[in-house]
A and B are shown apart, each in its own frame.
Chain A
Amino acid sequence: MIPALLVQFAQMMLVLALAPLLTGVVRKVKARLQRRRGASVLQPYRDLRRLLGKDVVLAENASWLFRVAPYAIFAATWVAAALVPTFATGLIFSWTGDLIVITALLGGARFALALAGMDVGTSFGGLGASREVMIASLAEPAMLMLVFCVAIVAGSTQLSSIAAHMLTQPVGLRVSLALALVALCIVAVAENGRVPVDNPATHLELTMVHEAMVLEYSGRHLAMIELAAALKLLLFASLIGCLFFPFGLAHAGTDPAGYLLAIGLWLVKLLVLAALLGTLELSIAKMRVFRVPNFLGAAFMFGLLGVLLLFVSRGM
């Protein structure tokens, strides 16, 4: 009981501690590819510390919702991230929620963020919120479709069971899983507001989405939102790792050395994905905002196609 609780606690703290690092690594990769030296990979930590120490400057007509939202967004994202098996399956609280719950928790965080964007009543806030819900209205179904895909293959929506199934059963190469992987990558790019859907590095660009919603935030509130965004990136990277590349995941109750090895492998997976994301972001241009629905519609259709294939033939 106690060791199991400790492992769960370690997982929660690890995702929290590593999330800014992953963001830093992606930035570093992008900078190196642009032949810049770039900021240190530790820069996000410094940013967070600086933001935490600053005063909050609150708009005059901001309501209580505006002040509560950062913590709600952070908490929902953190709980979702804690439910993803990063380095070990079968954690003690893993039965609290399945993949659908994780999707919905992220949806809840987005709900709060979009409302916070509209609270002050500025044009940018409304713009960001309106575009965010438009993107989400396609990204969320696409996510659910790919969840259905893996859930049907594994016979469970529980992430631990899915990872265990993928590890132990001869799943093999399947068309539907390949479609689901493509869909998940597209959804991950859109959900995290990366290029080509949104650009996390810009302010004051007419196509911005996420940054427009958080424009009025400052100080510790902004720190919470930035940390939640970093957590979300880590969550999706871990999700891709645990669903499609589950090798190296430790089972509940292995010895500490096993856990350490699993953590090492998880870090390697994260590094590879960060490098891939950085390369992707540099190799394509950002889309016009009304091209995004087509992009996400493709992910939705891939997911639906995968599910249809599975219903028609379990072997596909």
Chain B
Amino acid sequence: MTLVWTALAALGVLAVLGVPLARRATGRWVVYGGSLLACLVLLWAGLAALDAPPETLVLPVGLPWTGAHLRLDALSGAFLVLIGVGGAGASLFAIGYGRHEHAPARVLPFYPAFLAGMALVVLADDAFTFLFAWELMSLASWALVMADHAPDATARAGFVYLVMATFSGLALLLAFGLLAGAQGGYVFAQMRAAHPAPWIAGLAFALALVGTGAKAGLVPLQVWLPLAHPAAPSHVSALMSGVMTKVAVYGFLRIVFDLLGAPLWWQAVLVLLLGGITAVYGVLQAVMQRDLKRLLACSTIENIGIVFVAIGLAMAFRANGIAAGAALALTAALFHCLNHTLFKSLLFQVSGAVLVATGTRDLERLGGLIHRLPVTAVAALVGCAAIAALPPLNGFASEWLIFQAVLLRPDLPQWGLKLMLPVDGALLALAAALAAACFVRAYGIVFLGRPRSEAAAAAHEVDRISRAAMLVFAALCALAGLFPGLVVDALAPVVQPFAGGRMPVQGGEDWLTLVPVDAARGTYNGLLVGVFILASAALTAAVVHRLGSRALRRAPAWDCGFPDPRPDTQYSGDSFAQPLRRVFGTLAFHAQERVDMPRPGDMRAAVIEKSARDPVWDLLYAPVGTLVARVSDAMNVLQFLTIRRYLGFVFAMLIVLLLALTVMQ
């Protein structure tokens, strides 16, 4: 706990120091370097807390009669590890990347505050501290989103983000209010001890789902995410996508598994439904994006969906008292959180490197960067393969565990779960396949082919520190995939109290094989798969070069005899996505294409027009927005009344409140 305190205090000092130092070149080194150290300390403290007894601390600040309670237990520790890893990576990358910042004064003070806010959320042990930290996290990240305020899109992104963050905070405030009950027990220990009535618990669950879901990006509360995440500087995007969404997942786990006690099966159905829809919706959006960072933000929505499906599975098993299943699913959820932090941080760093090298994140202006940015290209390939869930990398290991959890018990008693489990399995399978398509497209258009603009053709590799950050994360993705058993074992003490059991000990298995339940049900060994692929590829290459020809010569591309030198003749990002758009988008987004082909002899250019609608925006946000506008128009008259009438309103309100109080008692 002392370690954590030192790190948090250091982050606070750095946030203050960021203001005067922003104008100097050393400011970047001090703030980001200091944040890097603080994050490493947080990482260390989190790792130490995984299998240590919970530590608590009460500070004489906050609400007068409760004070600020802090607690570092295994669950907090696990998420502190995520914050430490993601924060350290983003800080390291930013030491190099930060030199390209237009207005460092708008970033440097808020960056450490953002990190501190996230760390404080996972440490909070009473509702007030939790909400304070939650809002600190929201506001600091909002300020960072608004850092580059010139484009119009940023202002809109900032507005939508602020509205959604307020909404999320409000929902959580109400949830904690319900949990605290009439006595006002705002300390988490009191909430754990209290047993609220079923309908109050149900309502608190729904509010917690809405409040944390809005922060995590659960459909239909995801609208702000593809706007806000890309608008921020790339290292902040990495933090927002890779870490802040996980802090929201933490909030959900803390409230549902810890404060509310055992989950109920209908809650599991709800989470499974939303998670499945979120996964497919997110990836379908991602596969059609033109903006690299927006694409990554949409893919974050997909991964949050996957995490929530795993959490829903854990709730379903827990509700039916199947400890092994709950442990498997909850471990898979936490493992996927870690994996997503790793590869999404990596990919946002790559997007930052591409942005620095070419000045654009528009897919249609990139291409051929594998020749110009060789190191970034290697790191990006690892990240894309990991997020596409290819063995032997880490994304596959966690998705494999989730699939095993889906298949574990087809005999759950409730009909809702009987139907939801296979449907979610199908949705996850679809999301995984579409994610692979999405990242083939992203990597292929950005790094392969021929450059589609002057800027892409003249790009230069980024600085050494940024490259180091990307390579470290690529290595972490590979390591977590090759040794998944170690991660699973490390997560066991986190899962134990909430699932009522743990997964089998993985450490003693031969060759570190991953065994979800028992060896007969299915096993996976990432290390051996990796070794086999590498060995057989190397062996084959050696044999072929020895027995066959080794000669190689360069010639113009063949392209069926009609190579066209113009780079426009390549497939573009849009044309690559066209078949997927046509197959899935027609149904999901009303995607339409209209080709305006001039008649023969007519000299004007042919035009293709595409349109797509967002069903969530159309069905939910647009009507609500219209309603709010209409109501405020109608209430506009209230602004121009005399003082007597205002006093009259106050009096009437008083009467109504008194009446309500009488009726209630």
List the interface of chain A (C-beta within 8 A of B): 52-61, 63-65, 71-72, 74-76, 78-79, 82, 93, 95-98, 100-101, 104-105, 107-108, 110-111, 114-115, 118-127, 129-131, 133-134, 136-141, 144-145, 148, 151-152, 155-158, 161, 203-204, 215-216, 219-220, 223-224, 289-290, 293, 300, 303-304, 307-308, 310-312, 314
Chain B residues with CB under 8 A of A97 = 391, 524-525, 529
- Report how far A208 CA is from B516 CA in the complex, Å: 41
Contact status B557-A59, CB under 8 Å: yes
State which of B367, B381, B429, B443 has its C-beta within 8 Å of the C-beta of A141: B429
Name the CB-closest residue of A to B547: A52
Contact status B443-A115, CB under 8 Å: yes
Q: Which 3 A-B pairs have the closest CB atoms?
A: A126-B571, A121-B449, A52-B548
Chain A residues with CB under 8 A of B563 = 122
Chain A residues with CB under 8 A of B571 = 118, 123, 125-127, 129-130
Contact status A123-B533, CB under 8 Å: no
Contact status B557-A107, CB under 8 Å: no
* Distance (whole angstroms) from the CB of B540 to the closest CB of chain A: 6
Sampled A-B contacts (29; CB under 8 Å):
A57-B553, A58-B554, A59-B557, A61-B368, A65-B370, A75-B532, A76-B533, A95-B513, A96-B524, A100-B522, A104-B396, A111-B440, A118-B444, A126-B570, A126-B575, A134-B580, A137-B434, A138-B583, A145-B426, A148-B403, A148-B422, A148-B425, A156-B520, A157-B521, A219-B552, A220-B544, A224-B540, A311-B421, A314-B410
Contact status A144-B429, CB under 8 Å: yes
**B454 at interface by CB-CB < 8 Å:** no
List the interface of chain B (C-beta within 8 A of A): 367-368, 370-371, 381, 385, 388-391, 396, 400, 403-404, 406-407, 410-411, 418-419, 421-423, 425-426, 429-430, 432-434, 436-437, 440-441, 443-445, 448-450, 513, 519-525, 528-529, 532-534, 536-538, 540-541, 544-545, 547-549, 551-560, 563-564, 567, 569-571, 575-580, 582-584
Chain A residues with CB under 8 A of B407 = 148, 151-152, 157
Chain B residues with CB under 8 A of A63 = 370-371, 448
State which of A71, A115, A127 has its C-beta within 8 Å of the C-beta of B440: A115
Given A79-B533, A308-B422 in contact, is the A216-B557 Cβ separation under 8 Å? yes
Known interface pairs A97-B524, A156-B520; 5 further A-B residue pairs with C-beta atoms within 8 A, sorted by A's residue number: A95-B519, A107-B388, A130-B575, A137-B584, A216-B559
Contact status B449-A95, CB under 8 Å: no
Chain B residues with CB under 8 A of A136 = 433, 436-437
Q: Considering residues A110, A123, A300, which has the most beta carbons from chain B within 10 angstroms of its beta carbon?
A: A123
* Distance (whole angstroms) from the CB of A57 to the closest CB of chain B: 5
Name the CB-closest residue of B to A293: B583
* Distance (whole angstroms) from the CB of B534 to the closest CB of chain A: 8
- Report how far A134 CA is from B582 CA in the complex, Å: 10
* Distance (whole angstroms) from the CB of A187 to the closest CB of chain B: 12
Given A52-B547, A60-B556, A304-B426 in contact, is the A123-B437 Cβ separation under 8 Å? no
* Distance (whole angstroms) from the CB of B408 to the closest CB of chain A: 10
Chain B residues with CB under 8 A of A64 = 370
- Report how far A148 CA is from B556 CA in the complex, Å: 47
Contact status A79-B433, CB under 8 Å: no
Name the CB-closest residue of A to B513: A95
- Report how far A279 CA is from B364 CA in the complex, Å: 44
- Report how far A104 CA is from B393 CA in the complex, Å: 11
Given A72-B537, A95-B519, A223-B548 in contact, is the A101-B391 Cβ separation under 8 Å? yes
Chain B residues with CB under 8 A of A115 = 440, 443-444, 448
Contact status A108-B385, CB under 8 Å: yes
- Report how far A129 CA is from B548 CA in the complex, Å: 28
Chain B residues with CB under 8 A of A74 = 536-537, 540
Contact status B557-A145, CB under 8 Å: no
Chain A residues with CB under 8 A of B528 = 93, 96
- Report how far A145 CA is from B424 CA in the complex, Å: 11
Contact status A158-B570, CB under 8 Å: no
- Report how far A216 CA is from B513 CA in the complex, Å: 39
Contact status B391-A156, CB under 8 Å: no
Given A96-B532, A215-B560 in contact, is the A121-B567 Cβ separation under 8 Å? yes
Chain B residues with CB under 8 A of A303 = 426
Chain B residues with CB under 8 A of A293 = 583
Name the CB-closest residue of A to B385: A111
Contact status B537-A71, CB under 8 Å: yes
Contact status B532-A123, CB under 8 Å: no
* Distance (whole angstroms) from the CB of B548 to the closest CB of chain A: 3
Given A53-B549, A130-B576, A216-B557 in contact, is the A152-B448 Cβ separation under 8 Å? no
- Report how far A129 CA is from B436 CA in the complex, Å: 12
Given A60-B557, A100-B403 in contact, is the A140-B367 Cβ separation under 8 Å? no
Contact status A307-B425, CB under 8 Å: yes
Chain B residues with CB under 8 A of A57 = 553-555, 558
Contact status A111-B390, CB under 8 Å: yes
* Distance (whole angstroms) from the CB of B373 to the closest CB of chain A: 11
* Distance (whole angstroms) from the CB of A221 to the closest CB of chain B: 9
Chain B residues with CB under 8 A of A133 = 436-437, 440-441, 580
Contact status A79-B529, CB under 8 Å: yes
Chain A residues with CB under 8 A of B577 = 130
Chain B residues with CB under 8 A of A59 = 554-558
Given A65-B370, A101-B400, A140-B436 in contact, is the A131-B579 Cβ separation under 8 Å? yes
Contact status B426-A307, CB under 8 Å: yes
Q: Considering residues A123, A133, A138, A144, which has the most beta carbons from chain B within 10 angstroms of its beta carbon?
A: A133
Chain B residues with CB under 8 A of A137 = 430, 433-434, 436-437, 580, 583-584
Chain A residues with CB under 8 A of B434 = 137
* Distance (whole angstroms) from the CB of B226 to the closest CB of chain A: 21
Contact status A52-B536, CB under 8 Å: no
Q: Considering residues A78, A108, A140, which has the most beta carbons from chain B within 10 angstroms of its beta carbon?
A: A108
Name the CB-closest residue of A to B435: A137
Chain A residues with CB under 8 A of B400 = 100-101, 104
* Distance (whole angstroms) from the CB of B44 to the closest CB of chain A: 34
* Distance (whole angstroms) from the CB of A304 to the closest CB of chain B: 5
Contact status B570-A123, CB under 8 Å: yes
Chain A residues with CB under 8 A of B584 = 137
Contact status A61-B579, CB under 8 Å: no
State which of A104, A158, A216, A290 has its C-beta within 8 Å of the C-beta of B390: A104
Chain B residues with CB under 8 A of A124 = 559-560
- Report how far A75 CA is from B525 CA in the complex, Å: 17
* Distance (whole angstroms) from the CB of A249 to the closest CB of chain B: 17
Contact status B422-A311, CB under 8 Å: yes
Contact status B522-A65, CB under 8 Å: no
- Report how far A120 CA is from B390 CA in the complex, Å: 23
Chain B residues with CB under 8 A of A71 = 537-538, 540-541
Contact status A60-B429, CB under 8 Å: no
- Report how far A161 CA is from B564 CA in the complex, Å: 53
- Report how far A307 CA is from B445 CA in the complex, Å: 37
- Report how far A219 CA is from B555 CA in the complex, Å: 14
Contact status B521-A310, CB under 8 Å: no
Contact status B389-A104, CB under 8 Å: yes
Contact status B450-A61, CB under 8 Å: yes
Q: Considering residues B404, B443, B519, B579, which has the most beta carbons from chain A within 10 angstroms of its beta carbon?
A: B579
State which of A105, A119, A127, A203 has its C-beta within 8 Å of the C-beta of B529: A105
Name the CB-closest residue of B to A309: B422
State which of A122, A131, A300 has its C-beta within 8 Å of the C-beta of B557: A122
Contact status A152-B410, CB under 8 Å: yes
* Distance (whole angstroms) from the CB of B197 to the closest CB of chain A: 33
- Report how far A74 CA is from B533 CA in the complex, Å: 9
Given A105-B529, A122-B557, A123-B559 in contact, is the A111-B388 Cβ separation under 8 Å? yes
Contact status A129-B544, CB under 8 Å: no
* Distance (whole angstroms) from the CB of B387 to the closest CB of chain A: 11
Chain B residues with CB under 8 A of A155 = 520-521
Chain B residues with CB under 8 A of A95 = 513, 519, 523, 525
